[in-house]
Structures are given as structure tokens and as C-alpha cells.
């Protein structure tokens, strides 16, 4: 699990804002603003943050479902951001997506068999008989009966629909799957079943995941490493267990403290964060978290912190973008 399957470098995605009769460009929404990370072969990287922080846009941009404004996306020795449509079509056999809403991601006019056959037809794989055999195998892998082939999506529960969505994602045996809030629309009991299914498929098929979510408890269960995103930027990234045991960024500390515990009498570790997420149109200067940060000092207002190891010159998988990370770490030690 040492080699990098995906390398994202300085990725940006700005959405233009237009107004007036002539739709003149008057500004940009800074949805993703200069993020970098890598995913190793067979690894799960969790990407977490509040709603609107840009994590879903990051996932869609990595798949080039949205064209990046700047940066590079290296996958299988190719920069996806520079490929033409035909070249991307070939690459997409190896990188797939599981969408958030199982009620919206499946075509209601198609049977499950037709939905699962479509990837094979698009890429001209196998005969009709071969495809039907592959579909049966896919349904078995995700815990669905053969009889599902002739039924329509509306005949299934949310958890069953998500299993069908997972079957479609693994149909072409991809190397990387982007899971965009893949369990957030499901009941808690069903969430654990789907997470365990994803882990089983990862072990069986050697899959890598980019697991996008807002629930840190869910992310910890499935992720090897976690990247925390705030207002279009990654503010901390580390091994999952290490991040939970020793978060270095004030925002990460608040997110972890907000995870519910089963004891109603247990004291809260930290108060809820004050203020609102900053505007993606006019983000704050300096550190984007400084308007809400109790540790902010003058430098935080003017100079963006660099994402780097806590100890300068020391290579470490735990990196943080905070001017006062060392002081905060000592305070909570």
C-alpha cells in the first residue's frame, strides 16, 4: 500500500458568477481552492467537512465530471485534467462513483438488469449471455437475489438501491471509487451494512476509495487516512486513528468534539463552534478559519497557513495548516 494510485496537486475549481442581460462575469465561487493529496493503492482516504466546504465538488472534479480550473489529477500515469473526452471514457472504466442519493442515482425507467448491463454495453464488453452472467455475479457480490434483475428501482428500499448503485460502480472492476456521501441518506442500521460491504469489496477486489462524508464517526470506521476540509481548503490530514487521538487544527478539534456519545451525562469536550461558514465568493484573507477561531492572532488575519508537518523539516504523514498548531498541541497534551 505504498504506491500512489491517485495524486491530486494544487486542484482548484471556481464557478463563475454571471449577471445582467449579457451574463457578464462578476466573480467566482471558490468551491475548491488549491488542494493536494494522494491515495495509495488499496487505501481509503476520508474527506470530511461541513456542508458547503467543497468536498463533493472535489470528488466530481477528480472524476472530471466538472472540469478543473487549475491543478493536476494524476491517475494511471495520466493527467486526467488534460485528457480529451474519448480518452476519459477509457479511463472511467478504472475510476467510478457511488452517489449520495440511491433514489435519484438510478434510472426509474430501467430494470436493475438494464442498469447493470449498461456499463458493459457502453464499453463493448462481452456478449449478451456473458453480460447476464456478470450481472448475476454482481448482484450476488452485493447481497441481492437474481430476481432483482427484472425489477425496477422503485420496488426496493434505500439500502437495497444503494447496493445496486455499488454493483454498478464495481461492474468494470475499477481501481478507484469515489463514494460521495454514500451512506448519509440511509438509516443508521443500514449504514453499517453498507460500510461493511464496501470494506469486504475493498479486500476482495483491492479497491481504493475516496470516501466523502460529513460524519466523522462514519469516516473513522472505514478510512485509513482522513483529510479535513474547510472553505475549499484542506486544513489537516493524518492517519485516521492519529487524527482522532491528537487533532492539531482547531476546526478538527471542534468536529471531533461534536461526535455524539452514548452517555447523556458525559461532559462535552468543547463548546460548539461560533459563527457561520465563510462565503465561498469572498473568502476571508489569511487563514479562512480565523473569523471563527478562538486561537486566532494577527498573522492569522493576513497570511494563509501552509499545510505542513508540525515539526519543520520532519517528514510526517500528519500535516496541518495552522499558524498556532504547535502551541495548541502543547496546550492539549
For 250-262, write each residue's pLDDT tens digit. 999 988 887 777 6
Q: What is the pLDDT of the chain when averaged over all its residues?
A: 89
The torsion angles phi and psi of 91, rounded to 5 degrees, stand at: -65, -35
pLDDT at 70 over 80: yes
Q: How far apart are CA 58 and CA 55, in angstroms?
A: 5
Looking at residues 224-245, what average pLDDT do you find? 94
Per the model's pLDDT, the better-predicted residue between 162 and 184 turns out to be 162
* pLDDT score for 332: 66
Looking at residues 239-268, what average pLDDT do you find? 82
Confidence tier at 85 by pLDDT (50, 70, 90): confident
Looking at residues 120-137, what average pLDDT do you find? 93
How many alpha carbons fall within 13 Å on the CB side of residue 306? 5
Using left for φ > 0, alpha for ψ between -120 and 50, and beta otherwise, residue 285 falls in: beta
Q: Which are the contacts of 239, defined by CB distance < 8 A and separation ≥ 6?
A: 224, 225, 226, 317, 318
Q: How far apart are CA 251 and CA 50, in angstroms?
A: 10
Q: Which are the contacts of 50, defined by CB distance < 8 A and separation ≥ 6?
A: 214, 230, 277
Confidence tier at 1 by pLDDT (50, 70, 90): very low
* pLDDT score for 14: 95
Q: In whole angstroms, how far apart are CA 27 and each of 7, 12, 15, 261? A: 29, 15, 9, 42
pTM for this predicted structure: 0.90
Looking at residues 182-206, what average pLDDT do you find? 91
* pLDDT score for 270: 56
Looking at residues 184-190, what average pLDDT do you find? 85
Return the C-alpha cell found at 1. Answer: 500500500
* pLDDT score for 263: 61
Confidence tier at 4 by pLDDT (50, 70, 90): confident
Query: What domains can be seen in the chain, in order of their start residue?
Result: 4-42+52-83+217-332 (3.40.50.300)
pLDDT at 172 over 90: yes
Burial class (CB in 10 A: 0-12, 13-18, 19+), 83: middle
* pLDDT score for 264: 64
* pLDDT score for 79: 94
Looking at residues 207-223, what average pLDDT do you find? 91
Looking at residues 278-299, what average pLDDT do you find? 91
Confidence tier at 333 by pLDDT (50, 70, 90): low
pLDDT at 80 over 50: yes
* pLDDT score for 184: 86
Amino acid at each position: 500500500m505504498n504506491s500512489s494510485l491517485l495524486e491530486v496537486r494544487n486542484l482548484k475549481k471556481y464557478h463563475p458568477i454571471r449577471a445582467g442581460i449579457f451574463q457578464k462575469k462578476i466573480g467566482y465561487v471558490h468551491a475548491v481552492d488549491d488542494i493536494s493529496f494522494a491515495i495509495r493503492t488499496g487505501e481509503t482516504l476520508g474527506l470530511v467537512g461541513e456542508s458547503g466546504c467543497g468536498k463533493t465538488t472535489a470528488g466530481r472534479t477528480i472524476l472530471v465530471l466538472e472540469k478543473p480550473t487549475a491543478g493536476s489529477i494524476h491517475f494511471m500515469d495520466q493527467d486526467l485534467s488534460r485528457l480529451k473526452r474519448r480518452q476519459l471514457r477509457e479511463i472511467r472504466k478504472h475510476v467510478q462513483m457511488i452517489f449520495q442519493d440511491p433514489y435519484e442515482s438510478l434510472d426509474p425507467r430501467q430494470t436493475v438488469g438494464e442498469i447493470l448491463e449498461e456499463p458493459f454495453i457502453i464499453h463493448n464488453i462481452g456478449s449478451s449471455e456473458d453480460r447476464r452472467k456478470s450481472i448475476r455475479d454482481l448482484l450476488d457480490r452485493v447481497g441481492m437475489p437474481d430476481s432483482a434483475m427484472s425489477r425496477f428501482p422503485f420496488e426496493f428500499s434505500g439500502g437495497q438501491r444503494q447496493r445496486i448503485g455499488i454493483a454498478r460502480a464495481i461492474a468494470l472492476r475499477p481501481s478507484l471509487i469515489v463514494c460521495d456521501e454514500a451512506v448519509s441518506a440511509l438509516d443508521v442500521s443500514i449504514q453499517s451494512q453498507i460500510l461493511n460491504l464496501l470494506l469486504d469489496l475493498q479486500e476482495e477486489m483491492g479497491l481504493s476509495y475516496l470516501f466523502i462524508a460529513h460524519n466523522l464517526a462514519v469516516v473513522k470506521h472505514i478510512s485509513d487516512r482522513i483529510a479535513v476540509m474547510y472553505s475549499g481548503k484542506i486544513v489537516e490530514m493524518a492517519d485516521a486513528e492519529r487524527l482522532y487521538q491528537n487533532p492539531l487544527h482547531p476546526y478538527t478539534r471542534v468536529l471531533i468534539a461534536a461526535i455524539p456519545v452514548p452517555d447523556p451525562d458525559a461532559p462535552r469536550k468543547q463548546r460548539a463552534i461560533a459563527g457561520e461558514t465563510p462565503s465561498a465568493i469572498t473568502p476571508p484573507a489569511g487563514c479562512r478559519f480565523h473569523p471563527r477561531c478562538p486561537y486566532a492572532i494577527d498573522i492569522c488575519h493576513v497570511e494563509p497557513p501552509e499545510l505542513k508537518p508540525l515539526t519543520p523539516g520532519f517528514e510526517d504523514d500528519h500535516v496541518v495548516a495552522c499558524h498556532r498548531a504547535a502551541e495548541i498541541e502543547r496546550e492539549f497534551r
